Structure 1
């Protein structure tokens, strides 16, 4: 017998009550990937059974605030993006805090999927809303999000630098301390602009001032990772190595597989630049496996290219060509124009080496 209309309504109301209770307790799982995935699996199913109402919309928004970026970190981006997308029309147009948060998260997901223009557009919207909140932390986070998109998807290093400078000025006008996170993307913009010594000085200053045992693990990892990357970029490989190893191992222990893949990728770059090719190969293979487990197609694509360069450096040209061509193929499929161009440059270098040595 099909349920009566009243029974269906009662069931939907009970589902909503369960959903609200689960949202209130979900925060306890934020740093436990296995537990969070299990809890969210039930919660996502529960959401589909709820009545659409103001109470539901408020609880969903509370869920987004409580978890923030956790589902992205643990490889649940697609389901999370659906929740974010459906939440936007229910948020008041003057609620700049929540609009900034939701658009910023959508921009990060689009960035990971290499949806360049979407990421850029949503990142700009997020920063516009954040700047109207007077919340220094939120302004810094959204400036970082847009800055990373400009740097890594568009090569617009100066524009990213300008975004950081403008955001710093806005925060200073609030008579509020500037969060160190704003300077993280600032450092990377300087690095890509060729100001590596200035970037190194700033990253060391950030670490000396903010790297404290009592700080959160996430903040610790952000500072340590940046310092390691900048030290590697400045040729200080022996100093960079322990930073990058610690970051990669912690991310892996926390089951943040995409972040661990990226961190091992940075360590591989350090070894490759250091001419430690066997270590670079081993680390890149680990990074590739983690990116596949995480479903991170962007990192998987980049690591293929980096592995190709390692094999090229070892004179193993057939393997180098296979990985470089895979890098180009994946980059073109994703619409990652800068990566495809880098891959074609590496292929030209391979052909040049073969021409010289054959």
Structure 2
């Protein structure tokens, strides 16, 4: 019995060593293979499950620590781009733990930074803050510029979303200084990666503060930074164009935003990044929504929502459901819009997506206004106004103020309605957000003597035509028809507006309406 037991133990040790040697060889070979084929990720994608399984098998072996970490770093960010968000987050944490146990600060900082960035991209902001702070601490100790910028960017973005705007601004300024200090000794690719992350954060903060032109300029600097550089991957370049398109959209440059997104989609398809391409099409749908091209908007958003359900990307699905709610509002399909707003809120609450919960309640309140359920809408919108004010989200503050103005008017509180509209207009004039200025003018045109109202509407109409906002153009024409004292002028405005609704696929707004009782089309950013 003793001899047999010893023999079994010896055999187990030999098998363990042999298995470890086999894993080590596979890890080393795979790291080289991945690095060799990074520019052809389609050749690697079929092996994603096997690669993640191998890393999990090898990670408990101390002797395999270095090849495991090397393979993780070689693979990143490919599994994330392939839709392995949860599994890859776990792998990144495993790699960071291994690096920490061997005091490999550079690798630990990188892996933590990538995890923080992944968490931010999935809108898990509270967790991104926790991981980002840890990554930043290790990166500073190691003097590592790439993880400093990437972790810092995730931390700034998440803090801003959580309403800590002043702290985010202060942190960003500090990170830009620290990055500048590290620049002389940094590899160009690492410095560029850091600066792209921080410039993106800068653009997001500027947009949150309503400084649209500066936000657009920040993303333009990102495009200029990567021009002609061979170390910039199609993934990185595509992401830059997506971010640029968001700022262009917010600034009312819709056709340019469409072009930026189409460029991004082409780059993502070039490297078979299905998720990024589909998500970009969802973003394209939002631009088309602002242009009142509702058929194209719905098509892109529905495609994105279906993909999200297929791959269980609930963090993105909640966003698309919310966007579809406002598409149906734009079409005048109010009950369908309300159904999607309820679905949006339910999904946001179940996923713990705080920002989307806020947006869902805001949208639901706005839809209730157009359904004439003013008292219920008032409670929802007043709570929303307090919430977005606390978050410092300038464009949303003005948007909710305008919805509340309509609500107060519906309740007969005309003085409060005018005051709220005036506050929103003043805020809009401080921002470079044409869409907001247009809907503020449309709301102000509901108050005061006809001459002033017509002047507001003509100004809004000119802006709407300048920026290609068909819904606002039609809305201005309907309001001008309501104010017209000449029947021919009234008929002209009514005809032009109804033709626009037919073009937009939004004729539901005409139900029960006439030139003497035209609809008030929804106010939408």
CA distance in 2, matches of 1:34, 1:207: 26
The equivalent of 2:84 in structure 1 is 76
1:199 to 215, 224, 239: 215
Cα offsets for 1:201-230 (capped at 9, x unmatched): 333344345433755323322332222221
Q: Is 1:328 matched with 2:337? A: no
2:72 to 59, 64, 67: 64
The count of residues paired between Structure 1 and Structure 2 equals 356
Structure 1 contact 191–199 (Cα < 8 Å) conserved: yes
The equivalent of 1:276 in structure 2 is 293
| Structure 1 residue 340 displacement after superposition | 0.7
SS in 1 for 2:44: helix
The equivalent of 1:24 in structure 2 is 32
CA distance in 2, matches of 1:216, 1:12: 34
The equivalent of 1:212 in structure 2 is 228
Structure 2 contact 203–219 (Cα < 8 Å) conserved: yes
Structure with the bigger RCO (C-alpha within 8 Å, sep 6+) is 1
1:88 to 96, 102, 111: 96
CA distance in 1, matches of 2:243, 2:260: 9
Q: 1:57 to 1:284 in 2, by over 3 A?
A: same
* TM-score when normalising by structure 2: 0.62
Structure 1 contact 257–291 (Cα < 8 Å) conserved: no
Name the larger-Rg structure.
Answer: 2
Q: Is 1:183 matched with 2:199? A: yes
The equivalent of 2:130 in structure 1 is 121
Cα offsets for 1:224-245 (capped at 9, x unmatched): 2222221111111122111112
SS in 2 for 1:174: helix
CA distance in 2, matches of 1:26, 1:62: 11
| Structure 1 residue 309 displacement after superposition | 0.4
Cα RMSD, aligned residues only: 2.8
Q: 1:322 to 1:168 in 2, by over 3 A?
A: same
The equivalent of 2:441 in structure 1 is none
2:317 to 300, 303, 321: 300
SS in 2 for 1:325: helix
1:145 to 151, 154, 159: 154
The equivalent of 1:172 in structure 2 is 180
CA distance in 1, matches of 2:13, 2:142: 43
The equivalent of 1:105 in structure 2 is 114
The equivalent of 1:238 in structure 2 is 255
Range with bigger deviation, 281-290 or 54-63: 281-290
| Structure 1 residue 306 displacement after superposition | 0.2
CA distance in 1, matches of 2:111, 2:295: 43
Q: 1:253 to 1:158 in 2, by over 3 A?
A: farther
SS in 1 for 2:315: helix
Q: 1:261 to 1:165 in 2, by over 3 A?
A: farther
Q: Is 1:43 matched with 2:51? A: yes
The equivalent of 1:349 in structure 2 is 366
CA distance in 1, matches of 2:286, 2:249: 8
CA distance in 1, matches of 2:20, 2:233: 39
CA distance in 1, matches of 2:82, 2:114: 14
User: Which consecutive unaligned segments of at least 5 residues does structure 2 have?
Assistant: 1-7, 373-409, 411-508, 513-525
CA distance in 2, matches of 1:31, 1:74: 15
SS in 1 for 2:83: coil
| Structure 1 residue 328 displacement after superposition | 0.6
* TM-score when normalising by structure 1: 0.88
Structure 1 contact 111–119 (Cα < 8 Å) conserved: yes
